[in-house]
Homo-oligomer: A and B are copies of this chain.
Amino acid sequence: MNCIELKDISKSFGATQALRGVSLRFEENKIYGLLGRNGAGKSTLLNIIANRLFADTGQVSVNDLPAVENDKAQQMIYLMSEQTLYPEKMKIREVFKWTKNFYPDFDAAYAQNLAAQFGLDTKKRVNSLSTGYSSIFKIIIALSVNTPYVLLDEPVLGLDANHRDMFYRLLIEKYGNRPSTFIISTHLIEEVSGVIEDIVIIKNGEIIRNESCESLLSKGYTVSGKASQVDAFIEGKEVIGVDSLGGLKTAHIMGVPDRREIPEDLEVTKLDLQKLFIQLTNS
C-alpha cells in the first residue's frame, strides 16, 4: 500500500518518553499538518521516519518496505529539518548538483528558478546564510526534490511574512502540478490552515487527533454570554476550555452546535484552527 505507516512506535531519551506507542498512516498525495507543542514529539517522529533516529519499539514502512537502514525506502523520503546536513563550506549550486546524485528526480532547473524568485544567491556558501535564507535554501530543495514523501520540520523558521506567503503559494502550485505527500510540522498554525488537508495533533508523545482539517474545524465552536447561561448550556458537553471575565464566560466546545438548542442571548462563533489547537493541547 502506498503510504508511510508507523506501527506502535515508542522512543525515550533517558527518562523522557518522547513517543508512546504511535500508530499512524500518512497516505500518498496528501498535505498533512503535524501539529504539537514544543517538546510534544513532532521532530522525533519525523526523524524516525527518515532513519535519522531509531525507535525503541515498533515498525515504520514506506510503501510496504521497512524504513530502517533501507535505501530503497529512504529514497522515497526527503526530510527538511533545522539541522543542515550539507558540508558547510559547499556552495548552494554545488549542493543542488550533489542532491541530484541522491535523488535522481531532483529538478535542478526548477531549484535555480526558485532561488531567483526568493532572491537567494546560489554562489553563496551554506554556512554564510542567515536563519531565514537557510530555511529558504532548504525549502527550495524540498520543493524540487520530487520524492513521493516530503517531510518539512519548521519550514518557515526565520522567514518574513512575504517569504512565508511565497512558500505557501509555491507549495500549493507544486502540489497541483505534481502531487506528492507533504508533512508539515509548524507552530504557525493559523497560517498553514488553508494549505493542509489532514491534521495530526501530537501531545506528550501520543496522537490525540488525526482527521481532515475540515472535519476538525466543523467540530469546534465557542459560546459566550452570561456565566449562568453558559454554565447551563455547556453541561454534558465536551468543554475544552473556559475563560471568565466578571459575570461573563466564554467556553470552547468540541461538537457540532445545534442552533435550535442555543439560547438567543448566547453568542456562538467558530473556533479557528490555532485557537482549537491551543485549547486541545493546553496542559
Contact = CB atoms under 8 A, between A and B. Distances in A.
A188 interface: yes
Interface residues of A, number: 22
Total copies of this chain within the assembly: 2
Contacts of A281: 162
Interface string A164-186: 11000000000000000000000
A132 B162 contact: no
Nearest to A187: B160
Question: Could you say which of A161, A162, A190 has the most chain B C-beta atoms within 10 Å of its C-beta?
Answer: A161
A161 B130 contact: no
Question: Could you say which of A37, A162, A163 has the most chain B C-beta atoms within 10 Å of its C-beta?
Answer: A162
A167 to B, nearest CB: 12
Interface string A268-281: 00000010011001
Question: Could you say which of A130, A187, A191, A277 has the most chain B C-beta atoms within 10 Å of its C-beta?
Answer: A187
Contact of A161 (B132, B161, B162, B277): B277
Contacts of A278: 161-162, 165
Interface string A11-26: 0000000000000000
Contacts of A165: 278
Contacts of A190: 190-191
B282 A162 contact: yes
Nearest to A243: B169
A165 to B, nearest CB: 5
Nearest to A82: B131
A274 B189 contact: no
Contacts of A101: none
Interface of A: 37-38, 130, 132, 158-165, 187-191, 274, 277-278, 281-282
- A-B interface, 7 closest residue pairs, ranked by CB to CB distance from nearest: A37-B160, A38-B160, A38-B132, A160-B187, A162-B278, A161-B189, A161-B274
24 contacts: A37-B160, A37-B161, A37-B162, A38-B130, A38-B132, A38-B158, A38-B159, A38-B160, A38-B163, A159-B187, A160-B187, A161-B187, A161-B188, A161-B189, A161-B274, A161-B277, A161-B278, A162-B278, A162-B281, A162-B282, A164-B187, A165-B278, A190-B190, A190-B191
Given A37-B161, A161-B278, A190-B190, 4 more contacts: A38-B160, A38-B163, A161-B188, A161-B274
